[in-house]
Amino acid sequence: RKEVEQDPGPFNVPEGATVAFNCTYSNSASQSFFWYRQDCRKEPKLLMSVYSSGNEDGRFTAQLNRASQYISLLIRDSKLSDSATYLCVVNMHNFNKFYFGSGTKLNVKP
Amino acid sequence: NAGVTQTPKFQVLKTGQSMTLQCAQDMNHEYMSWYRQDPGMGLRLIHYSVGAGITDQGEVPNGYNVSRSTTEDFPLRLLSAAPSQTSVYFCASSYSGGADGYTFGSGTRLTVV
């Protein structure tokens, strides 16, 4: 079983739609959680951290559910520019080692 | 600020050759890591460092060596390249390790033939 699992997609949605991704992790002792965005043939870039209380940044909302060991990302009012792969990232075993999911691909269509 | 700089951007090696992927950051970050990214596998941690002189293994360390003689530089050495090491390699750095995520370099695309 992978440490971090994501639905690979692709999620094909029209502009303006709301879309949600989930990510499950295996280690209940994980402490830090992030969502990264990766454009085709580019490096991953930090989108947002995920806090226990949840957090929101504009159209993006991230939630953490420790009991069920998953994190989620909600994108409202999707834009064409949101088309990318979204990577779930969790730290495991110690604070300095981060484990990435294989990513969920989002295609926003006109 | 240049951020995290990786060189080369592209490389083709023959099986058995060795080479060093360079990574440098100018943000005075203590934490640095090397990842490889393969289709369907996500990014996998190869080696990481929490400061100059300190390195440790990640998920897939076999066939790779690292050293950290300065805060700025964290080179990754392939000892004897194999086709299974064909991948995209990313170097990343962080000021505080876990709390604020990592900044990535633009990657090195390596093909071993």
Q: What is the pLDDT of residue A31?
A: 81
Comparing C-alpha atoms, which of A81, A88, A83, A103 is closest to residue A7?
A103
Segment holding B18, helix H or strand E: none
Signed CA dihedral, A64, A68, A72, A74: sign only: negative
The answer, yes or no, to whether residue A85 has pLDDT greater than 90, is yes
Which backbone phi and psi does B46 adopt, to 5 degrees? -95, -60
Residue of A nearest to B88 (CA): A41
Burial of A17 (0-12, 13-18, 19+ CB in 10 A): middle
DSSP code at position B29: -
| Residue B36 structure tokens | 């490889």
B97 touches chain A (CB under 8 A): yes
pLDDT confidence of B1, banded at 50, 70, 90? Answer: low
| Residue B68 structure tokens | 């950290």
Q: What is the pLDDT of residue A95?
A: 60
Q: What is the pLDDT of residue B100?
A: 74
Q: What is the pLDDT of residue A105?
A: 95
Q: What is the pLDDT of residue A93?
A: 53
Residue of A nearest to B60 (CA): A99
Question: What integer is the mean pLDDT of A73-99?
Answer: 88
pLDDT digits (tens, 9 = 90+) for B43-97: 999 999 999 999 999 989 999 999 999 999 999 999 999 999 999 999 999 987 6
Most confident of the ranges A2-6, A26-30, A64-68: A64-68
Q: What is the pLDDT of residue B98?
A: 65
Question: What integer is the mean pLDDT of A41-61?
Answer: 93
**Which candidate in B23, B25, B29, B37 is best for mutational testing of the A interface (most A CBs within 10 A)?**
B37
Chain B: closest CA distance from residue A47 (Å): 10
Q: How far is CA B99 from CA A31, A87, B17, B83, B95, in A?
A: 9, 17, 38, 36, 9
